[in-house]
Amino acid sequence: MGILSGKTGVVFGVANKRSIAWAIAQAWKEAGANLAFTYQGERLKDNVSQLAETFGDDTLITECDVTQDDHIDRVFNEVGDKFGGKLDLMLHAVAFAPKEALEGTFVATTREAFRVAHDVSAYSLVALTRAAAPLMTEGGSIVAMSYYGAEKVIPHYNVMGVAKAALEASTRYLASDLGEQKIRVNCISAGPVNTLAARGIAGFSSMLKHYEAHAPLKRNVLPEELGATGTFLASDGAAAITGQVLYVDCGYQVMGM
């Protein structure tokens, strides 16, 4: 039996087979979890459906725009019906900022770009957690994805770094609020991975080379390594860990220069 056998979970943020969310979902499935998936808009429906259906023809796959509360309510009603009113795991791997906000300087960020980035990338964790918590009747684990740009300046990451900082702070507050219900909330701060979202950041290929040159392990993190970390955080082995940001970046975060 896998370490997540008997657990149920819902995954937000799969876009394609290179998504970090998909790597973690695969690891959760291999560990025994029964999962549901959401997709953002018709453009991603086919991609997500093709991947999720490899987990079984009866896998729940449903649309969710995380900026719409009615979508969130519907999704968790469907998840509750699917899993008999019980949920153990949630993965939040959702982030977005307008492309023009991920180029040039942070000071040029528009009010609308700032609002959108924070609504999609940070507030959505609060909204999804609020909807998930009533189903986590026996406790649970919520895992969110962050990046080092939340605490240090990364060229062109701009407003997304500020939104990720809000996400990490939200993780701590949610962990405090939900601890008595045995619901744990943590972040994985991943090194750069060649995903659809990451390719929208100007200079991303240079970022990969920089990490490889300067991280103590002299390489970039692999998606399956993030899957393994996500599985640990979802498991009883992490039962005493909540409100934390775990760096999975081949050691880059510890370097001063």
Catalytic residue ranges: 147, 157
Nearest to 233 by CA among 59, 76, 31: 31
- Phi, psi angle pair for 145, to nearest 5°: -110, 130
166 Cβ partners below 8 Å, 6+ apart?
Answer: 118, 121, 122
Which tokens in the block code for residue 123? 């507030």
Is-contact 241 35, C-beta < 8 A? Answer: no
108 Cβ partners below 8 Å, 6+ apart?
Answer: none
CA gap 81, 76 in Å, rounded = 8
